[in-house]
């Protein structure tokens, strides 16, 4: 049970990335029985790239500059708030995750008690595309968003043109739970009922650690970005429930599903990722037929500004493979 007690930290880290606001058309749609908030940049006549965020991360996870540069490649770029974060539907009645029950169920290979699963979140993304009358899209997900993207490509292949999975594993629990435990230990655990300032301080520390040592974010800029995110939406319960869904996804054992994905696929990983091991990323690429793997030197569990052009070019090149 000690192993499963430790998974809470993994769950609560896997969505912290470099945030900034992206100016775009905004809206809400009904999707999979809930409301999903989204932003769209670029002409509706262009092919769509759908960006999926990680645990606890709002659509603001994908920076303004990143979105604009990606759209300039000739694509409509859509990002959205996953359920339970940002401006999308919250699951207040579900309460906080029962980690003891989740750990027990995992140890007994039973279905853990969750408010929702990553499969549900993949359906949310499909519902968003349907509501916007988009038949197919290029799917890009980072961290937990990468796992959601993988599920979308397997469960809903008729909606997918190509797949990019960034800093995400594929549900193979034979890999270490955390890539660099000593680094992750620097991030403090806090109570779910902690005040806003405590959560802000923890998130600033988390993003700094997850960025690795090569592309450290400026602390003043980072605090400003975190403040903007929290001003847009501060909702810790959703962060914890998404963390539970992400954790169970880590133990899902989806090797057979990954082998069945047929669309052009690219797996991107950072050489300094302290959370998800490089081998876990390579495993995803090895399982998906004809997938490519790119290791970005110095990148952590983050989207560093200095690598925007590299990452965007890689996404666009993979999308071209689908044409």
- Name the residue ranges covered by the structural domains of the chain: 2-320
Residue 6 has pLDDT above 90, yes or no: no
Q: What is the pTM of this model?
A: 0.93
pLDDT of amino acid 205 = 97
Q: Which residue from 5, 37, 87, 7 is spatially nearest to 248, judged by alpha carbons?
A: 7
What rounded mean pLDDT belongs to the chain? 93
Q: What is the pLDDT of residues 204-253, one digit of tens each?
A: 999 999 999 999 999 999 999 999 999 999 999 999 999 999 999 988 88
Provide the pLDDT confidence category of residue 15 given band limits of 50, 70 and 90: very low
pLDDT of amino acid 22 = 44
pLDDT of amino acid 323 = 82
pLDDT of amino acid 286 = 98
Beta strand 48-52 pairing with 137-142:
parallel
- C-alpha distances in Å from residue 6, one per residue of 17, 236, 296: 21, 19, 28
Question: H-helix or E-strand containing 311?
Answer: helix 308-320
Provide the pLDDT confidence category of residue 24 given band limits of 50, 70 and 90: low
Q: What is the pLDDT of residues 122-132, one digit of tens each?
A: 999 999 999 99
Mean pLDDT of 43-65: 96
CATH superfamily of 2-320: Alpha/Beta hydrolase fold, catalytic domain (3.40.50.1820)
Q: What is the pLDDT of residues 95-110, one digit of tens each?
A: 999 999 999 999 998 9
pLDDT of amino acid 177 = 84
Longest dimension (CA), the chain: 52
Residue 40 has pLDDT above 80, yes or no: yes
- C-alpha distances in Å from residue 306, one per residue of 12, 145, 167: 26, 21, 17
């Amino acid at each position: 049970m000690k192993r499963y007690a430790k998974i809470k930290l993994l769950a609560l880290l896997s969505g912290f990335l470099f945030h900034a606001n992206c100016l775009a058309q905004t809206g809400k749609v009904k999707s999979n029985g809930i409301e999903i908030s989204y932003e769209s940049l670029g002409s509706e006549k262009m092919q769509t790239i759908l960006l999926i965020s990680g645990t606890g991360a709002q659509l603001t996870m994908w920076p303004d500059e990143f979105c604009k540069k990606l759209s300039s490649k000739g694509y409509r770029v859509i990002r959205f708030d996953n359920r339970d974060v940002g401006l999308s539907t919250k699951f207040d009645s579900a309460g906080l995750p029962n980690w003891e029950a989740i750990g027990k169920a995992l140890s007994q290979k039973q279905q853990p008690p969750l408010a929702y699963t990553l499969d549900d979140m993949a359906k949310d993304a499909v519902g968003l595309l349907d509501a916007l009358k988009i038949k197919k899209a290029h799917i890009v997900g980072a961290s937990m968003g990468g796992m959601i993207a993988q599920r979308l490509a397997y469960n809903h292949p008729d909606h997918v043109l190509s797949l990019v999975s960034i800093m995400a594993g594929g549900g193979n629990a034979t890999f270490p739970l955390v890539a660099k435990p000593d680094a992750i230990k620097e991030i403090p655990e806090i109570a779910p009922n902690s005040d806003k300032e405590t959560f802000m301080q923890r998130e600033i520390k988390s993003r700094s650690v997850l960025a690795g040592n090569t592309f450290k974010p400026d602390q003043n800029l980072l605090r400003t970005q975190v403040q903007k995110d929290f001003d847009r939406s501060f909702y810790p319960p959703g962060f914890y429930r998404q963390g539970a869904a992400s954790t169970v996804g880590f133990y899902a054992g989806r090797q057979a599903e990954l082998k069945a994905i047929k669309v052009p696929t690219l797996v991107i990983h950072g050489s300094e990722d302290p959370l998800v091991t490089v081998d876990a990323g390579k495993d995803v690429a090895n399982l998906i037929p004809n997938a490519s793997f790119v290791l970005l030197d110095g990148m952590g569990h983050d989207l560093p500004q200095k690598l925007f052009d590299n990452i965007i070019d890689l996404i666009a090149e993979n999308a071209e493979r689908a044409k």
